[in-house]
Amino acid sequence: MPRISTLRVTRSHKIATAVLVAAGSVTAITATGGPSEAQSSATRSSVSVEPVAAAGIPTAKDAAEKAAKENAAEEAAAKKAAAKAVAEKAAAKERSEKQAANRSTERKAVTPKKYADNLDGWIREALDIMKKKNIPGSYEGLHRNIMRESSGNPNAVNDWDINARNGIPSKGLLQVIQPTFDAYHVKGTPKKLTDPVANITAAANYAADRYGSIDNVDSAY
d(CA 214, CA 140): 10
Percent of the chain with pLDDT over 70: 72
Residues with Cβ within 8 Å of residue 204, at least 6 apart in sequence:
126, 130, 135, 136, 137, 142, 174, 213, 214
pLDDT of residue 60: 85
Name which residue leads in pLDDT, 191 or 46: 191
d(CA 82, CA 84): 5
Mean pLDDT in residue range 196-201: 98
pLDDT in tens, 77-119: 999 999 999 999 999 999 988 888 888 776 666 678 899 999 9
Mean pLDDT in residue range 43-72: 69
Distances (CA, A) of 166 to 127, 131, 151, 159, 178: 32, 34, 24, 10, 12
d(CA 168, CA 176): 9
pLDDT of residue 109: 60
Asked whether the predicted pLDDT for residue 5 surpasses 70, the reply is: no
d(CA 194, CA 214): 18
Distances (CA, A) of 43 to 32, 37, 39, 50, 51: 18, 10, 6, 17, 19
Length reported for the chain = 221
Is residue 184 a contact partner of residue 198, using CB atoms and an 8 Å limit?
Answer: no
Give me the chain's average pLDDT, please.
81
Name which residue leads in pLDDT, 134 or 106: 134
3-state DSSP helix/strand/coil % of the chain, to nearest 5: 65, 0, 30
pLDDT of residue 53: 53
pLDDT of residue 63: 83
- Ramachandran class of 171: left when φ > 0, alpha when ψ lies in -120 to 50, beta otherwise: beta
Is residue 182 a contact partner of residue 202, using CB atoms and an 8 Å limit?
Answer: no
Per-residue pLDDT band for 54 (boundaries 50, 70, 90) equals low
Distances (CA, A) of 116 to 12, 125, 138, 181: 161, 9, 18, 24
